[in-house]
Amino acid sequence: MDDNFEDFEDFDFDSYMDESNEKWDAKMKIWKERMVIEAIEHNYNSIFKHGISGLPQSEITLVQLTDLIETITFMINHYEEYEEYEKCAVLKKELKRVDELLNGLDS
């Protein structure tokens, strides 16, 4: 019975786990990047088709507008990185509308 374990005497479990964790982390990073890109594309398509005019202006809060500005800015940065400037222009137009709504709440 002990003969079966002789092959594993030199097995470096810590190295094995480190390597496995690195592979797992790399796969998770790729998955996360894909999910972020998918979310950006989904949000862009929605904004492109409907704009932000569908937002219930009487019910929207300062926090929601702030979050929307942060999201659109993140999307713009993404598209600038990939030199998709037409999409940036669409988003900047909508960002201006959000900013106008935000200024309306401050009044």
Q: What is the DSSP string of the chain?
A: -GGGGGGGTT--HHHHHHHHHHHHHHHHHHHHHHHHHHHHHHHHHHHHHHTTTTS-TTT--HHHHHHHHHHHHHHHHHHHHTT-HHHHHHHHHHHHHHHHHHHHHH-
Would you place residue 1 in the very low, low, confident or very high pLDDT band (cuts 50, 70, 90)? very low
- Amino acid 54: pLDDT: 64
Q: What is the pTM of this model?
A: 0.75
Is the confidence at residue 2, as pLDDT, over 70? no
Give the other-Cβ count within 10 Å of 102's Cβ: 15
Question: Does 93 or 54 have the greater pLDDT score?
Answer: 93
Task: Tell the residue number behind the tokens 């862009």, with chain if given.
Answer: 44
In 10 A of CB 16, how many CB atoms?
10
pLDDT digits (tens, 9 = 90+) for 25-72: 899 999 999 999 999 999 999 999 988 866 666 678 889 899 999 999
What is the pLDDT at residue 75?
98
